[in-house]
């Protein structure tokens, strides 16, 4: 286990899940967790279990739908997919996140450029 792995930032997991579902289509919890780990290049320390409360939160808001299906190992598993409002929400969340990231970037930029 690498020591420099970052914890998942509060609130970012939701967007990661939504983004994953957007690009991958319907997926079960394990798939989503693995995909996030892979995309982040194993730089995130993700307790895979935390994906489930996040999925539930998104489902309660109506951004994600779920249905039971069969996994690759031929076992019953719950598959999650984006709903219509969820799709719209991605744009909004992305914009929010970019704005925050940009603000942070300005703060973290070399002080010479920030002074004028």
Site residues (vs another protein, CB under 8 A):
28-31, 33-34, 47-50, 52-53, 56-57, 59-62, 71-73, 75-78
Indicate the helix (H) or strand (E) that contains 69. Answer: strand 64-70
CA 81 to chain CA centroid, Å, is 13
Cross-sheet strand order for the sheet of 76-82: 27-28, 76-82, 64-70
Shortest distance, position 74 Cβ to another protein, whole Å: 10
Q: Of 73 and 111, which CB lies nearer to another protein in the complex structure?
A: 73
Shortest distance, position 112 Cβ to another protein, whole Å: 43
Shortest distance, position 104 Cβ to another protein, whole Å: 27
Q: Of 11 and 53, which CB lies nearer to another protein in the complex structure?
A: 53
CA distance 62 to 82: 9
Q: Of 76 and 111, which CB lies nearer to another protein in the complex structure?
A: 76
Q: Of 95 and 101, which CB lies nearer to another protein in the complex structure?
A: 95
The token pair at 107 is 């703060």
Letter string b/e over residues 93-107, b meaning 16 or more CB atoms within 10 A of that residue's CB:
beeeeeeeeeeeeee
Shortest distance, position 39 Cβ to another protein, whole Å: 16
């Amino acid at each position: 286990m690498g020591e420099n792995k970052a914890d998942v930032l509060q609130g970012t997991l939701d967007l990661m899940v939504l983004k994953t579902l957007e690009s991958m289509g319907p997926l079960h919890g394990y798939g989503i967790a693995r995909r996030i780990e892979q995309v982040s290049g194993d730089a995130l320390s993700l307790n895979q279990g935390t994906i489930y409360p996040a999925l539930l939160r998104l489902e309660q808001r109506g951004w994600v739908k779920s249905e039971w299906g069969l996994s690759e190992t031929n076992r019953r598993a719950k598959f999650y997919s984006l709903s219509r409002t969820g799709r719209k929400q991605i744009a909004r969340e992305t914009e929010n996140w970019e704005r925050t990231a940009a603000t942070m970037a300005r703060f973290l930029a070399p002080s010479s450029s920030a002074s004028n």
